[in-house]
Chain A
Amino acid sequence: MITEVGVWLIFLLPMGSFVLTGLVIRPLMNRYSSVAGHLTALAIAGSFGLSLWALISVANDSEAVTFSPHSWLEVGRVVVNVTALVDPLTAIMLVVVTGVSLMVQIYSIGYMRGDPGYARYFAYMSLFTASMVGLVISGNVVQLYVFWELVGLCSYLLIGFWYHKPAAAAAAKKAFIITRIGDFGLLLAILYLLFNVDAFASQGLNPLEISDIHKAVAIPGLLATSVVTWLAVGIFTGAVGKSGQFPLHTWLPDAMEGPTPVSALIHAATMVTAGVFLVARFFPLFQQSEVAMNLVAIVGGFTAIFAASMGLVMNDIKRVLAYSTVSQLGYMMLALGVGAYGPAIFHLFTHAFFKALLFLGAGSVSHASGTFDMRFMGGLRASMPWTYGTFLVGSLSLAGIFPLAGFWSKDEILASASVSSSAVGQLVFWLAVIAVFMTAFYMFRALFMTFEGRFKGGAEADPAADGRGQVHLAESPAVMTLPLVALGIASVVIGFLSNAIMDVGLVPEHWLSHFLDVEANSFSLAIAGVSTVAAVPGIALAYVMYVSKLLPPARISKRMRLAHVLLSRKYYFDEIYETALTKRVFYGVAAQALDWADKAIVDGSVRAIGYFGRNVGRAMAHAQSGQLQGYGIVIGIGVIAIFAVMLFLR
């Protein structure tokens, strides 16, 4: 049975590693910066162990693992607590975050070796892991918001890790600004909770405690439906920004400018799933509002195929994976939207492992070829057998091929959507099936372009590489391949093991569903058939286009020119946002107006206050003559004035 100290240690271990690395190792003993990597990995290994303990404790007795809130600040009726909330959702997230983070840190020890910012890198990674843990154990919305912003900050710092690269600096800024738009919605929702403090207080509940919010929505009539809907919409806006859902998806592909392990940990496995986590965290609230649920389902379903369609034509391997991540997050959202809480978390869980695997595989590939552009790769299968093997496993899992992890979780989402009786449910089911086809195609397109055929020169042939990358065609060192193998094994087995359709040895049937306390979906052969029928042609099409060359890609892109241009320009969303919205509307109109208001009204009133203050202050300072008689007279006048006012008030 995990203690509260144990729970906080999951957070404090990486935080301590951040403090040590950031405040001691980097400024004082950067010559020994190699310690930083091992320290970080060790701290996170400790957190991972404690997370497993938390998972087991919750699994054994999920009711009893509750901790009382600690009062942090009380102002009138508003009480802000610090609470450790450990429920099944938290436990699953903890294992995902610390488990994937551990693999990524070990991999990073090899991948980042020799980088001048080695200690800084691990300091940021520790801070990120600590913040992410803090986010998932938050039992209070203010606490949650603090960590929500902290993971955003870490994302910004790590995308712009190579800040001397203009593209990285720009991508970091873009990620920060666009996610901030979503965060504003979350902030409004939190403030809106405070407006309802009376309704909560009438039942002895605290509007900022998450468990109290769940209790409040369960009481009929306590909160009006419109209140619940607006709260849910605000929270979902935050989730849309963080999880790169349409229309705030544009930052995530650009975020690939950061180091590849960062992309694997933050922009694939953990931080971007925080949006899904957030919706899941407030799921009882969403369930009370049909409008909000439909919104989540439609945004998720649309994002799933919208992002996948752009993944079809990207040439940068990390961008393919980035669009795939956006698309898979859309899957999870649509699952939540149709009420399939269990399948959404199940997919989040499996996706974290195989998507981290794919990103680390991409990093390994570029370690050898010096580039991320797949047009200059090819034929790497022979020189990189471990990377190839694990990448293949990850691709099959993502494509949803039996019996890998992705198959089981994706099928549960499809099954949930298919049984949904609403029109929205039917719509998103078919969107999801189309996305399965696209996913299989782009993933195997990437696999074939990278590993099959002949090698096309890597960094030496890539004009964009500027001779920065080096080509040395060999397998990556063991410190990098071992995490790949570990994640590869996970990508094979965790889908079946964690939510098995029958009893297997130690693990009972539908363990995860029971753990999350949701109704288990029975396995449907029809759904499995549909998804396989959608996925296999995708793989086959990729094969005939990129391996057997029966259908040369060039011919197809010429035939479908318009569509190809539209997709590779990402539907012109960057242009719409940057040129039309930012430059025209924002800089052109809003900024001009604000500039005037700032100069005339704000500066003017500040200057007026300053002028008034200085002069009145000087005048009053003159009254301070140093003469005692004067002081006595002021006291006397004061007494009479107060008495007069008192009589007047009566």
Chain B
Amino acid sequence: MTSHDIYLLSPELATAGLAGLLLLVDLVIRRKGWLAPAAVLGLAAPLAFTILLWLDLDAGRSLASDGILSESFVVDRFSLFFKFLLIGSAAVVMLMSGGYARQVQRFESAFYALALFSTSGMMLLASSVELVTIYVSLELTALPIAALAAFLADGRSSESGLKFLILSGISSALLLYGMVLVYGFTGATVLSEVGARIVDIGLDDGLPFGSYALLFGVVLIIAGFGFKITAFPFQMWAPDVYEGAPTSITAFLSVASKAAGFAVIMRVFYVAFPIEALAIEWSAIFAALAALSMTVGNLVAIAQSNIKRMLAYSTIAHAGYLMVGLAAAAVRVETPQADVGPSGSLFYLGGYAVTNLAAFAAVVAVSRRTGTDELGSFAGLGRRAPLLAAALAFAMVSLTGAPPTVGFMAKIYIFGAAVNAGLAWLAIVGVLNSVVSAYYYLRVVRVMVLSAPRDETPIRPPLPVGLALFITTAGVLAFGVYPAPLIQFARAAVSVLL
């Protein structure tokens, strides 16, 4: 392990180090109120390292490892894009977490530390280029989340944690089987070598088990990652877990965890299962899963009366929209606009992250006060807390995909990518789904504005939650009006995959 390797790992190390530091400091300080701001401000360190690494890339310095990381870990614009996204999401989640962590006073530092450990795992996942490293990173992200989901220690929360633990175990097992089959076929675990072997050997139906085993391995890998991103039919855990977990952890799961899942899916499928040999199959599979995920997510969301469950189904639908970008990957060989599909997924992820975090921050602000997540408790919010209601309404508009929000721009971009890739049918399914989704998103707005409140007392969100809401809402608007910087960022990131 050379010092250069440590530098390459510095964002992850700083995040995990911050987690350890918080645990230690908790032992000696008495004013526990300092832990939350320390957790948020401490994220400046990994952010600074990430910026330094990005600047190195801009300056053309080599960030290849010559040591033990050389085959398993890479720092490129793609992984750095996700590190920025993950650090930002983690910071917003910390801001929203104050009240939940304080409910279990003795373990406040543990709450932040677990979330930070999970974040460091996600960051590793974005940089991993080797199957075993991917698997280990994945476990590092998942285990703390199981603990966090059960953190409130009441019935629902415990159920949530346990369900996540078991189902995440099942999906890891599937993923591991898949990796084993791929290794058996190619004899390699480094993604680029896997890809090279598959191209060399080619898919030959004459091989006994040969290509079938590989394809089955690919399907199992899709299943394992599909669990992470809540893609149909691996999404069933999400509503139960989302509903029981502390709301800030629900937000973390729906944004950061999903982003990390997409990072690793894109890396694996672009590098290890190259388009020339396999892509037509996997892009078709993703197209089908995309259509099914959005349809199932949106239709079931209509029937929900609990806003956290509704948002859980909404994230399933958004996983569908996100996969449209993966489905559009097949266009790579045909046109010069090869990066529209994958960069569309990244742009959509960025927009989805700010929007969903804004929605959850608003839910935190309200449910902290009313003690319930039922949609009915939002009645008359327009009068009780006009700004809060406006921000939540704006987030709902963005989730629906109407201007002037980033949700609109992202949908335009990603559906445009689908049309560009000859998947007009998928774009039509997506647009129809957006129309259906308006029904339940705008129902939230209707309840807030038209229904009479049960009690008239104004709601004032705590300062950190208000700050989180302000930052994310500003992002929704800013990228909705001027999306170009985010799009360019996404395009720079995916350029390394193509």
In the bound complex, residues from chain A placing their C-beta under 8 Å from that of B285 are 642, 645-646
Cβ-defined partner of B223 (8 Å) among A70, A72, A635: A635
In the bound complex, residues from chain B placing their C-beta under 8 Å from that of A587 are none
In the bound complex, residues from chain A placing their C-beta under 8 Å from that of B239 are 624
Closest CB in chain B relative to A4 CB, distance in Å: 16
**B219 to A643, Cβ gap below 8 A?**
yes
In the bound complex, residues from chain B placing their C-beta under 8 Å from that of A650 are 281
**B215 to A647, Cβ gap below 8 A?**
yes
Is the CB of A631 closer than 8 A to any CB of chain B? yes
**A634 to B233, Cβ gap below 8 A?**
yes
Is the CB of B174 closer than 8 A to any CB of chain A? yes
Contact with B along A227-269 (1 / 0, CB 8 A): 0000000000000000000000000000000000000000000
> Chain A: interface secondary structure?
helix
Interface residues of A in 46-101 (CB under 8 A from B): 70-78
Contact with A along B220-249 (1 / 0, CB 8 A): 101100110000111011011000000000
**B166 to A628, Cβ gap below 8 A?**
yes
**A624 to B288, Cβ gap below 8 A?**
no
Closest CB in chain B relative to A461 CB, distance in Å: 53
Is the CB of B152 closer than 8 A to any CB of chain A? no
Give the size category of B's interface with A: 35 or more
In the bound complex, residues from chain B placing their C-beta under 8 Å from that of A620 are 296, 299-300
Docked pose: A641 CA to B300 CA in angstroms: 22
Cβ-defined partner of A609 (8 Å) among B340, B413, B436, B484: B436
**B337 to A621, Cβ gap below 8 A?**
no
Among B227, B302, B420, the most chain A Cβ lie within 10 Å of the Cβ of: B302
**A645 to B288, Cβ gap below 8 A?**
yes
Cβ-defined partner of A646 (8 Å) among B166, B281, B296, B439: B281
The verdict on A617 contacting B300 (CB below 8 Å), with A76-B340, A609-B436 known, is yes
In the bound complex, residues from chain B placing their C-beta under 8 Å from that of A27 are none
**B301 to A76, Cβ gap below 8 A?**
no
The verdict on A628 contacting B303 (CB below 8 Å), with A635-B223, A639-B219 known, is no
Cβ-defined partner of B300 (8 Å) among A624, A639, A643, A647: A624
In the bound complex, residues from chain B placing their C-beta under 8 Å from that of A642 are 219, 222-223, 285, 289
Interface residues of B in 323-355 (CB under 8 A from A): 337, 340
Is the CB of A616 closer than 8 A to any CB of chain B? yes
**A75 to B413, Cβ gap below 8 A?**
yes
**B215 to A624, Cβ gap below 8 A?**
no
In the bound complex, residues from chain B placing their C-beta under 8 Å from that of A78 are 416
CB nearest to A620 among chain B residues: B300
Is the CB of A649 closer than 8 A to any CB of chain B? yes
**A646 to B303, Cβ gap below 8 A?**
no
Contact with A along B351-364 (1 / 0, CB 8 A): 00000000000000
**A617 to B487, Cβ gap below 8 A?**
no
**B420 to A76, Cβ gap below 8 A?**
yes
CB nearest to B203 among chain A residues: A650
Is the CB of A604 closer than 8 A to any CB of chain B? no
In the bound complex, residues from chain A placing their C-beta under 8 Å from that of B300 are 617, 620-621, 624
Docked pose: A642 CA to B231 CA in angstroms: 13
Docked pose: A9 CA to B335 CA in angstroms: 40
**B215 to A646, Cβ gap below 8 A?**
yes
Is the CB of A114 closer than 8 A to any CB of chain B? no
Closest CB in chain B relative to A106 CB, distance in Å: 34
Docked pose: A632 CA to B420 CA in angstroms: 37
CB nearest to A78 among chain B residues: B416
Docked pose: A641 CA to B285 CA in angstroms: 11
In the bound complex, residues from chain A placing their C-beta under 8 Å from that of B170 are 632, 635
In the bound complex, residues from chain B placing their C-beta under 8 Å from that of A649 are 280-281, 284
Cβ-defined partner of A617 (8 Å) among B234, B236, B281, B299: B299
Is the CB of B412 closer than 8 A to any CB of chain A? yes
Cβ-defined partner of B216 (8 Å) among A72, A626, A638, A643: A643
CB nearest to A75 among chain B residues: B416
**A614 to B303, Cβ gap below 8 A?**
yes
The verdict on A638 contacting B420 (CB below 8 Å), with A620-B299, A624-B300 known, is no
Contact with A along B149-180 (1 / 0, CB 8 A): 00000000000000100110011001000000
Docked pose: A151 CA to B239 CA in angstroms: 49
Interface residues of A in 602-639 (CB under 8 A from B): 609-610, 613-614, 616-618, 620-621, 623-624, 626, 628, 630-632, 634-635, 637-639
Docked pose: A71 CA to B171 CA in angstroms: 42
In the bound complex, residues from chain B placing their C-beta under 8 Å from that of A632 are 167, 170
Contact with A along B176-187 (1 / 0, CB 8 A): 000000000000
Interface residues of B in 458-498 (CB under 8 A from A): 482-484, 487-488
In the bound complex, residues from chain B placing their C-beta under 8 Å from that of A634 are 233, 236
Among B232, B281, B484, the most chain A Cβ lie within 10 Å of the Cβ of: B484
In the bound complex, residues from chain B placing their C-beta under 8 Å from that of A621 are 300, 303-304
In the bound complex, residues from chain A placing their C-beta under 8 Å from that of B25 are none
Additional pairs, 6, CB under 8 Å, beyond known A75-B416, A618-B303, A621-B300: A72-B483, A76-B416, A77-B337, A613-B302, A613-B439, A617-B299
- A–B complex contacts, Cβ < 8 Å, 18 sampled: A71-B487, A73-B487, A74-B413, A74-B484, A75-B417, A613-B439, A614-B302, A616-B299, A617-B301, A620-B300, A621-B300, A621-B304, A624-B236, A624-B240, A634-B236, A638-B234, A639-B223, A645-B288
What 3 A-B pairs have minimum CB-CB distances, sorted nearest first? A638-B233, A75-B416, A617-B303
